[in-house]
Structure 1
Amino acid sequence: MRNTVVACLVVAAAACFGFTGGPPRSVADTNALVVAPDGSGTACTTQEPCALDTARDQARALVPGATGDVVVELEGGTYRLTSPFTLGVQDSGRPNHPVVYQAAAGQTPVLSGAVRVTGFSKVDATKNIYRATVPTGVDSRELFVNGVRADRARGPRNPSGLSVTATGFTTSAPSYTSWTNPAQVEVVENNAWKQMRCPLASITRSASGGSDLTVDPGCWNNNHNSVPNPSFPFNGAGLPTLDGITWLENAYQLLGTPGQFYLDGSAGYLYYVPRAGEDLATADVELPVAPELLDASGTPGHLAPLNDTDWRAAYTGSWAYSNGRHLGDLGADVHYTSTNGDAVSYTFNGTGIQVLSETNSDEGTADVYIDGNKLSTVSGNGPERLAQQAMVSVTGLSKGTHTLRLVKTGGSYLLVDGFTVIPDVIAPVHDLVFSGITFIYATWNAPTAEGYVDNQAGVIWDPTTRTPTRIPAAVQVHRGARITFTDDVVQHTGTSGIDLADQTQDSTVNASSITDTSGIGVAIGEVDDYYQTEPALMTSGNTISGSIVQFPGQEYQDAVGIWVGHSKGTVISHNDVGYTPYSGMSIGWGWGWASNCTLQAAQGLPNPCLHGTTYTGGNQILDNHVHSVMGALNDGGPIYTLGGQAASSEFAGNVLSECIDGCNMIYHDEGSSLWNTHDNVVRFSNGSLWTNLWTPSIHDDSIHDNYSDTASYNNNGTNITFQQATVVTDGNWPTAAQAIVNAAGPGTLPGKVVDDDDLRVAYTGSWSSSGSRSTGDLDNGVHHTQQNGAAATITFTGTGISFLTETNSDEGDIGITLDGVSKGTVSANTPDRHSQQSLYSVSGLTAGQHTLTVTKLSGTYLLVDGYTLS
C-alpha cells in the first residue's frame, strides 16, 4: 500500500535534520579555497582569505584538473551584496565532483542583500514616528528590525465609504487629498484566491468635495477592466478582479501603528514606528536593496512560444488566418493552408527552433528545411484534435542565424500556431553544492511602479506582455542540473525563496529552512512548457526533502509554500510546510487542458474544447506535514493539485491539518488526473471537505486508505476509484494512522519553541483549531476545546517545559500531569484576555524524554498555544 522503500530512504536522509546536511568537505583538500566577508587578495587560504568572487574565478581554473571536489569555504560573518553572486556554465563542477560552497566548520556565513540603517531620531511624538536618513533614490518594499518583518504603512482593513469608479475609487471623505506622494500609495485587494495591487496615479478633490483615488491606468486595465484571460493552459474560468479595497498601503499619513514603516526614497528618509521593547539606538534595522542574492544560470534562459503572427514568420502561398477559434490555439489564432507546396519561413538567431501546430485526422505531412537543406518530414495526423503540439523540434544547430522552412506536402491541412526559438546552446549550469549558507534580505520593486497582476499561487501576468511569469526569488537557478542546496537558510525576503527554474533537472533542496518570504517558498518548473517533447527541455528529477517552508506570502498573499509547475519525476517529501496565507503546496498547472473534450463538455465549459498535452507525471508527494493554511485567501488547501498528469503520480503519507478558512483538505482541482492518493491523515479541517473532486474533468484518480476527522467529501470526478476515509473521532487515531503522523515531516523541528500544531502534540477529545486571530497567539493560531476531559499531550526531550495558553474570563481550570503524575491544577480565568501566558512551568528534570498532559476541567474554553522547552 505505501511506497515503503522510498519513504524509508527519505527518512534515513532526513534523520539528521536540524540542518546538518552531512559532513563538510575538508578544507585541507588541495582544491579548497577560503573566503571571508572582508577577504582580499588572491591567496584564498585560511591565513589570507579572499573575496567570494575571487574564489569563484579561481575555482574555474581548478575544476578541469581536480581529482575530487573543488571546495569554496565561507568563513562566518555577513557578506553584504547589492547584486547577486552569479555562477554560469563555466563555474560548474563535474558529475560526482561538484564545486562546493560551504560554511566553515562551526561558522555561519550570511549573504545579505540589505543595508543597515542607523541614526534614528523621533520626528513625531504623538505617533511615536522615528526617522533616519538613507541614500537618496534608494528603493525597497521591505524593512526588518531585529530580524522581524515590518509592514509598510497601511490603513485599516476594508476601509468604509470607498466605491468603484471608471478610473479607480471615490469617497466622500476629503482627508485623502492631504496625503503626500499619492503615486506611491497602493490599493490592495484580496479577492477569492487572488491578491491584486495597483499604485495610484493621483488623489484629487471630487466634485462633491470628497476624494477621487485614480489608479494607475495600465494597472487598472490589467487588474480591473481587462484581466488577462487566455484560459487553458494558462488560467481557469474564474476571474476575480480588483473591485474593492482590502487595505490602502504606503502613505506617510497611515503611519502610527507599531511595526510599520514608510520609505521616502526621493527625499532620502526612512520612517518607522518602533514596537514595544525596540530601541532604535541599538536595534539591527535592515533595509533590503538587492533584488537577488544568488543566480546560477545555464543557457539558454527562459523559453516561451511566440505566436504564429510573429513578424519573422513569412507565409507564401494561399494561407488563411483564423482568429478566435477557441480550440486551444496559442493566442486563440492560427495560420492554415490546404494547398500542397505552401510554405512558411522563419529566420531566427540561435541553435534550434520548435514549431507548434495541431494534430487531427485532417492534418497531413510537411517537409522541414533548415538553411535550404531538407531535414525531415513531419506529420500532424492523429486520431483527435490536440492543440499546440510540437510538430517540429530542431536542436543542436551551430549558434547563429538560420532559416526554417516548412512546406505542406500532404493531408487536408497544415496549421502553424507558434514558434519557440532556442537562442543558445543547451548547456545547464551543473554540479554545484551550497551547504550551511544563510541567504537573507532581498527586495522586488517592480510592483511599486507596475502593480501586481495576479493569476494564482505566485504565478502572475507580466504587466506589459501579459504573459505568465513568477515572483522572482532571492536564490535562483535557471537551467540547472545537479544543483544541491543542503543545510541552508533562506529567510526575510521581499521575493520568493528558492526557484529551480527554466527546466532545471536532478536538483535538490534538502534539510533547509525557507521562511518569511514575500512570495513562494520554493518553486520548481514552469507554466509555459507543457508542449515539450525534448527531454533536455523538461523540468525533471528534482527533490525537496526534509525542509521547513513556513510563512511564505508575507507580502503577496496568493503565494504558496511549495509550488511545482509542469514537471516529471519530482519528489516532495518529509517537509514541514505551514503558516500560509493561501495553499500550502500547489502542484501542477493547466486546469483541464489535458482532459479530453468529453470531460470538458461534462464540466460545462463555454468553449468547444481547449485540449492539448503535457509531459507532467511520475511525481511523488510523500510524508509531508502541511498545516495552518489559508490564513488570508480561500479556495485552496494544504496540498492542491491542478491539471493532468501524463503518468501516474503518488500522494501518500501526508498529514494535512489546521485549515483556517476556505479549504479543501486534499484538493484535486480541475483536470487533476492519475493521482494515487492514499494513506494520508486529515485532521482539524474545521468544517472543510477532507477531499474535493468537484468536476468531471478530474479523472482517473485512485483515492483509498486515508484517515480523516470528518466524513465530508465531494466526488464528482470521472472514473474515480474512491474509498471513503476511515473517519476518526476525538483524536483516537488507529495505529496505522498514528504511524503516518509519526513519520511525517522532517523530524523534530529545531528550536525550543513548540507551536500548538506541532506533530509532537496529540489531542484527545473534541478539539478545533483557529488561525489568523490577531490576538497575539504564538504563530497567530491556537487549538481549543469546550469539552471537559479533553486533553493535549506532548512528549518531548529535555530538562524542562512551559505550557503556553490564553487567559480570559471564559477560561477555567486545567489539570496538569507530568510523566503520569498529577501536578495539580492551574487556572486560566482572568478578567481580561492575555495571550501566550505560561501557566505551568517545570525545570531541572532528568535529561531525557518526558510527557506533559493538560486537561480541561472547567470553564467554557481551554486553549493550547504552544510550549517552550529547556
Structure 2
Amino acid sequence: MVQPCWDNSNKRVEFPDIPGRTVSMVGPGHLTNGGRATYIENAYELLDQPGEWYLDRTAHRVYYLPRKGENLARADVEAAQAEKLIDGRGTATAPVHDLAFRGLQFSYATWLTPSGPEGFSEIQAGYTITGEKGWATQGLCQYVEGGTCPFASWTKMPGNVSFTHGQRIAFSDDVFAHLGASGLDLGTGSKDSTVGGSVFTDISGNGLEIGGVDGQTPASGVRVTDNHLYGLPREFHGGVAILNGWTQSTTIAHNQIDHVGYSAVSLGWGGWPDKIGDPATPNPSHDNTVRDNLIFDYMQMLDDGGGIYTQGLTGTSLADGEKVTGNVIHDQWGLGKNVYTDNGCTYETVEGNVLYNASYANVASRHTDYRDTLGNNDPTLVKDNWWEEGTADGDNKGLVTTGNKIMAAPSDVPSQIIGNAGLEPAHRGLLNRRVGADSTPEAPSRVGTSTAGVDALYVTFNPSFVDGGSPVTGYTARAYDASGRQVGEQAVGAAQFKRTAVVRIGGLPASAGPLTVTVTANNAHGTSAPSLASLPLTPTAVTALPGVPTGPKLRTASTAATVAWTPPTATGDAKVVGYRVTVSDGRAPIDVTGRDVLVGQPSAKGMFRVIGGLRPATSYTVTIATVTAAGTGPAATVTATTKA
C-alpha cells in the first residue's frame, strides 16, 4: 500500500460519461476485492508451513522452515542481488553489434523495483504504471490533459539480459532460468538479431521480449526459432512466454511453448481505443510472422488471452500485415482462444493452423474497424485452418473466412502438418534438457467451490503449470470447517481433472457450517504446498433443475459436425458442471465437461464440441441438456444434414 504503487493501482482515471470505463481502457478504475489484500507475505509470524521463509531486512537474517528430508548443511541457496547479467546499451548512431552468446546459462538475477515504493501496478503482459501520479498521465496521450504519448506506452518489465540498439546479436544453445524479471529483452532498435536453440524456464515474468511500444526505434529483423519456453511466469503471472511489441519483419517460428500461466505469444499494442469507437494507435509494425510453433497447456492460471494473442494495427494491408501460419495450438485452460485477434487487430492472416481444445473459440476475429465510418470489420483473413469451430465460409464486411476444415481429433489432420510444428529435428533434444533440481510442483491456484448438495461441494481450481521437473500425477482437495479441522478429502488423477475440471468432496457433516477448501498437487517427488484457501461456503440442498441451453446450431462437414450452443439463462440452484449431448445415430451420450463449462455462468459465451464418425449426406438430430448437482435439465434440439 506504499506510494506511488497504491495510487497507481487504485486511482486510474475514468471517463466522466462512461461509468466504470478507465481512460486506459484496461481493467477497473479501483482495485477489486474492495481494495483488501488477497494475501500477505514476509512476516515471521506467518512461518507455519514447510518450505516458507522470512527475510528480516534489518538484521540481514533469513529464517526458513525446512521441508521433510531437507538438510540445509548440504543445500545450495542462491540469493540474487544483480538485476542485470548483461546490459548492452547502444544508440541509433553507435549500436552495440556483432556479438554471439553460445552455450551459456544465464541465472540468478533479480528485479528489486516491485519490492520498493514503485511496486508492481500491472496493466498487461508485464507493462506497469510507474512514477508519481503515473495513473493520471502515463500513456494516456490524447485522452487526458498532459497525457504522455503514444497511448498505452506504459513501463515495460526489464530483462535480466538486455540490449537496446543492438545489431547482429546472436543467442544460441543458451539457458535462461531462475531469473527475477524478463529473461531476455531485445529492446528498442534491436536489428537483425537471433535467438535459437535455447531454453527459457523458471522466470518471474516474460520469457523473451522484442521491441517496445514507446514510439522509439522499432526492433526489426529479429528471428526467434527452435526454442523451448515453459514453466513461466513464476511470480508476475500476467507475463507471457514471448512478448513482441511494435516490430518489423520479426519471425517467431518452430518454438515449443507449453505449461505457461497466460498467453504464449503476445504481439502488438495500442488497440484498446477500439473499445470506445476510436481507431487503434498508429504504429510502425509490419511483416511480422508467427509460424510453425507448437503451443499447448497455456493460460493455466489467467483468462482472456490466447495461444497467439494480437492487438492493434499489424501493417497497412493483408500483404504486409501479420501472418499466423502453420501453428499447432491446443489444450487451453483459461477462458480464451487459440488465436486471439483482440481490439483493433487489423490486417491479420490466420492460415493453415491446427487449432483445438480452446475454452471459448479457435479464432476470435470480428472487430469493427473504427478508422472510418463505413461500419466494416477489421480486415482479417481466416483461411484453410483445421479447427473445431466450424464457422462457414463468408465475407463479413472484410472478415473473410474460407476453406477451414472441421476436425474431430488430431488424427483427422495430415501427419506432416502436425509433425512440422514445434522444434525442428536438430533441436528436439532441448525437450530432454534438465534445468535445476527436481522438486515438488507449485501449488494450484484460483480454488473455488459451489454446492453439490447438503453434504458435498464441487471444487474447481487451476492446475499447477510448474511441475518441478516431473509431471503432476494428481491433486487432493481438502475441506476444513471454521475451526480449521479437516472434515473432507478427495483425490483426483491429473488426467481426469484435465478432462472434467471439477472435484466432488462428499460425505461432509451437514452441520459443519461454512467450509473452505485447499488443494495440493503431487508428482514423483512429493506433494506441493497447499493452495490459497477458497472463500467460505456452506453446502446446501439443491433441487431446481437447470433450464434449456439456448441457440443450438449444427455446423456440418461430410463426416463431422460442430454442435454449438450457449448456456441456459437459468441454472436452477446449482452451478453447471456439464452437458449431455446425444446423437440420433444411437451412439452413447457424450458427456461434455471441462474448464469452459464451469466459467462465466450464466453467460452468453458460446460452447462447442465436434461430433465425428458421421456419414455424408445424412440427416442427424442432436440434443444438448445441462447437468448440475440437481440433475439433468430439459434438452435443446437441432437437426442438420451432413455434406455430401
- Name the TM tier (shorter chain): 0.5 to 0.7
Q: 1:643 deviation in Å?
A: 0.5
Contact in 2 for aligned 1:234/1:527 (Cα 8 Å): no
Within a 5 Å distance, the mapping from 1:221-240 to structure 2 comes to 221-226=7-12, 235-239=24-28
Question: Quick check: 1:451 aligned with 2:119?
Answer: yes
**CA shift digits 1:512-538 (9 cap, x unpaired):** 111111111000011111xx7xxxx33
Counterpart pick for 1:243 among 4, 7, 32: 32
2:295 equivalent in structure 1: 626
Q: 1:662 deviation in Å?
A: 1.5
1:587 equivalent in structure 2: 267
Partner Cα separation in structure 1 for residue 383 and residue 249 of structure 2: 22
User: Which SS does the other structure have where 1:271 is aligned?
Assistant: strand
**CA shift digits 1:343-392 (9 cap, x unpaired):** xxxxxxxxxxxxxxxxxxxxxxxxxxxxxxxxxxxxxxxxxxxxxxxxxx
1:427 equivalent in structure 2: 94
Q: 1:567 deviation in Å?
A: 0.6
User: Quick one: structure 1 residues 287 and 776, their matched pair in 2 at CA, closer, same or farther if it must change by over 3 Å?
Assistant: closer
Question: Quick check: 1:267 aligned with 2:55?
Answer: no
TM-score (norm 2): 0.60
- AA aligned to 2:32 is D
Contact in 1 for aligned 2:103/2:173 (Cα 8 Å): yes
**CA shift digits 1:159-216 (9 cap, x unpaired):** xxxxxxxxxxxxxxxxxxxxxxxxxxxxxxxxxxxxxxxxxxxxxxxxxxxxxxxx22
Partner Cα separation in structure 2 for residue 611 and residue 657 of structure 1: 29
1:16 equivalent in structure 2: none
- AA aligned to 1:588 is G
Q: 1:569 deviation in Å?
A: 0.3
Counterpart pick for 1:281 among 34, 58, 73: 73
Contact in 2 for aligned 1:689/1:714 (Cα 8 Å): no
Partner Cα separation in structure 2 for residue 751 and residue 586 of structure 1: 23
**CA shift digits 1:445-494 (9 cap, x unpaired):** 11112211111111112233634111111100011111111111110011
User: Which SS does the other structure have where 1:433 is aligned?
Assistant: strand
- AA aligned to 1:671 is G
Question: Quick check: 1:218 aligned with 2:4?
Answer: yes
**CA shift digits 1:691-725 (9 cap, x unpaired):** 11242136111101111245479999751111373
Counterpart pick for 1:699 among 369, 375, 378: 378
1:664 equivalent in structure 2: 337
- AA aligned to 1:543 is R
Question: Quick check: 1:739 aligned with 2:416?
Answer: yes
1:547 equivalent in structure 2: 227
Partner Cα separation in structure 2 for residue 661 and residue 713 of structure 1: 26
User: Quick one: structure 1 residues 717 and 487, their matched pair in 2 at CA, closer, same or farther if it must change by over 3 Å?
Assistant: farther
Partner Cα separation in structure 1 for residue 101 and residue 68 of structure 2: 38
Partner Cα separation in structure 1 for residue 393 and residue 27 of structure 2: 20
User: Quick one: structure 1 residues 278 and 782, their matched pair in 2 at CA, closer, same or farther if it must change by over 3 Å?
Assistant: closer
Q: 1:835 deviation in Å?
A: 4.5
Within a 5 Å distance, the mapping from 1:94-173 to structure 2 comes to none
1:518 equivalent in structure 2: 204
- AA aligned to 2:386 is Y
User: Which SS does the other structure have where 1:270 is aligned?
Assistant: strand
Question: Quick check: 1:256 aligned with 2:42?
Answer: no
Within a 5 Å distance, the mapping from 1:11-160 to structure 2 comes to none
Partner Cα separation in structure 1 for residue 493 and residue 314 of structure 2: 46
Q: 1:834 deviation in Å?
A: 9.2
Within a 5 Å distance, the mapping from 1:412-423 to structure 2 comes to none
User: Which SS does the other structure have where 1:427 is aligned?
Assistant: coil
User: Quick one: structure 1 residues 684 and 810, their matched pair in 2 at CA, closer, same or farther if it must change by over 3 Å?
Assistant: closer
Counterpart pick for 1:639 among 302, 308, 315: 308
TM-score (norm 1): 0.45
Partner Cα separation in structure 2 for residue 771 and residue 623 of structure 1: 31
* Long gaps (5+) in structure 2: 139-153, 370-376, 435-459, 475-491, 499-519, 526-590, 593-644
Q: Report % sequence identity.
A: 31
2:324 equivalent in structure 1: 651
**CA shift digits 1:71-99 (9 cap, x unpaired):** xxxxxxxxxxxxxxxxxxxxxxxxxxxxx
Q: 1:267 deviation in Å?
A: 0.9
Counterpart pick for 1:442 among 101, 106, 109: 109
Q: Write out the 4+ residue segments of structure 1 that deviate beyond 6 Å after TM superposition.
A: 228-234, 712-717, 775-784, 807-811
Q: 1:772 deviation in Å?
A: 3.6
Contact in 1 for aligned 2:301/2:463 (Cα 8 Å): no
User: Quick one: structure 1 residues 555 and 834, their matched pair in 2 at CA, closer, same or farther if it must change by over 3 Å?
Assistant: closer
* Long gaps (5+) in structure 1: 1-214, 301-425, 594-599, 755-769, 785-804, 812-832, 839-859, 862-870
Contact in 1 for aligned 2:14/2:29 (Cα 8 Å): no
2:639 equivalent in structure 1: none
Q: 1:273 deviation in Å?
A: 2.4
Q: 1:808 deviation in Å?
A: 11
2:463 equivalent in structure 1: 773
User: Quick one: structure 1 residues 810 and 509, their matched pair in 2 at CA, closer, same or farther if it must change by over 3 Å?
Assistant: closer
User: Which SS does the other structure have where 1:469 is aligned?
Assistant: coil
User: Quick one: structure 1 residues 465 and 622, their matched pair in 2 at CA, closer, same or farther if it must change by over 3 Å?
Assistant: farther
- AA aligned to 1:444 is W
User: Quick one: structure 1 residues 751 and 742, their matched pair in 2 at CA, closer, same or farther if it must change by over 3 Å?
Assistant: closer
Contact in 2 for aligned 1:560/1:583 (Cα 8 Å): yes
**CA shift digits 1:97-123 (9 cap, x unpaired):** xxxxxxxxxxxxxxxxxxxxxxxxxxx
Partner Cα separation in structure 1 for residue 469 and residue 292 of structure 2: 23
User: Quick one: structure 1 residues 496 and 778, their matched pair in 2 at CA, closer, same or farther if it must change by over 3 Å?
Assistant: closer
Partner Cα separation in structure 1 for residue 496 and residue 276 of structure 2: 52
- In the alignment of these two chains, the number of paired residues is 426
Partner Cα separation in structure 1 for residue 466 and residue 346 of structure 2: 42
| RMSD over aligned Cα atoms | 3.8
- AA aligned to 2:401 is F
User: Quick one: structure 1 residues 667 and 715, their matched pair in 2 at CA, closer, same or farther if it must change by over 3 Å?
Assistant: farther
Contact in 2 for aligned 1:486/1:511 (Cα 8 Å): yes
User: Which SS does the other structure have where 2:9 is aligned?
Assistant: helix
Q: 1:278 deviation in Å?
A: 2.3
User: Quick one: structure 1 residues 611 and 549, their matched pair in 2 at CA, closer, same or farther if it must change by over 3 Å?
Assistant: closer
User: Quick one: structure 1 residues 451 and 512, their matched pair in 2 at CA, closer, same or farther if it must change by over 3 Å?
Assistant: same
Partner Cα separation in structure 2 for residue 657 and residue 705 of structure 1: 17
Partner Cα separation in structure 2 for residue 583 and residue 740 of structure 1: 23
User: Which SS does the other structure have where 2:417 is aligned?
Assistant: helix
Contact in 1 for aligned 2:230/2:241 (Cα 8 Å): yes
Q: 1:617 deviation in Å?
A: 0.8
Contact in 2 for aligned 1:774/1:780 (Cα 8 Å): no
1:791 equivalent in structure 2: none
Q: 1:740 deviation in Å?
A: 2.2
2:405 equivalent in structure 1: 726
Partner Cα separation in structure 2 for residue 427 and residue 460 of structure 1: 29
